[in-house]
Amino acid sequence: MRRLSLSLFALFAVVVGGLPPVAVAAPRVAEPANPLGLAYDNASGVAPYGKPTGMVVTGRCNRYDPAFAAARAGGAEVLAYLAPTERPDAPVCAADTAFYGGDLSKTALWPYPSYGQRVNWPKTHMTDIRAGLAWSNHVVAYIENLMREDKVDGVYLDVVGARTWSKLADWDSWSKSEQQLWTAGNVDLVRRLDASRRAINPRFIIVNNNIWDYAAGTAAERYVDGISLEHHKPTSEYHRALAARPYGNAGHRRVIAIAMNAAEARQWAAVPGVTHVSSQATYGTPPAPPVPFHRLTDRNR
């Protein structure tokens, strides 16, 4: 969630009792996790991740940098960063603007409590992600094109999940009906993407940078290959339990833990259910891989 902490989430669940407990179908045995690098600004640090079972996440503007293609040729999985639930207030780059339809002023914004009022991150506004409407349809079509294009292995969907967490969004101030619409829109988005990838490119990976463990959001866990746990302590029992959940059944489960440093990344790598770890406090370009590479057998090109 763009480095937004969920550290209070588990405490809220226990004290208030308003959230369902995490339930895991069966204990998951720890397996070696692999390195993940996030290269939002430039791809200068990507090359060391270009090995089988490595993973890198592009930024908004550099998806087609040759370094990502080279890493992919070396065996890494490349996920394209996208932020479907919010639109920048000013153009970031041509590639990013293209995702938002080519004209930022025409991207449909969240209509409640009044049109364009909701903000989750500075210098952005939340989009109208409601199920079946024009913006959601556009996102699905755009990602379907990535599936057909086959220049990336999947998508990393920032903020997409059961609810928002930032102080700016102030989720708890939303009406129940507004919350339900937003959650339902996010669930519907990944449901449709899952259906599309099964029809177009079953190898395509879907990871969201948020959680689904809230209200009706848990239904979405079956549609994604996993989630990203961003900057949580590897000792957090709540987040360890989230990491162990089964998620989708497309054959390539991917649960990411982004740590604040290499030592924490190595701790996360030993947590059952985690498949990839990053040591990055910031995401400009990745440092050296924090853990060795380990063979995976669930996905072949």
Contact call for residues 115 and 191 (beta carbons, < 8 A)? no
Tokens 């910031």 belong to residue: 282
Is pLDDT at 11 greater than 70 in this prediction? no
Amino acid 21: pLDDT: 43
Question: In the prediction, which pLDDT does 214 show?
Answer: 86
**Single pTM value for the model:** 0.91
CA–CA separation, 277 vs 295, rounded Å?
Answer: 15
How far apart are the C-alpha atoms of 132 and 134, rounded to whole Å? 7
Residue 88, beta-bridge partner list: 124
Nearest alpha-carbon partner for 30 in 264, 283, 255: 255
3-state secondary structure of 122: coil
Strand partners, 277: 35, 257
* Residues 34-55 pLDDT 10s: 999 999 999 999 999 999 999 9
pLDDT tens per residue, range 161-182: 999 999 999 999 999 999 999 9
pLDDT confidence bin for 28, thresholds 50/70/90: low
CB atoms within 10 A of CB 177: 9
Tokens describing residue 204: 């395509």
Residue boundaries of the structural domains of the chain = 9-19+32-278
Query: How many other CB atoms sit within 10 Å of the CB of residue 141?
Result: 10
Q: Tell me, which fold does domain 9-19+32-278 have in CATH?
A: TIM Barrel (3.20.20)
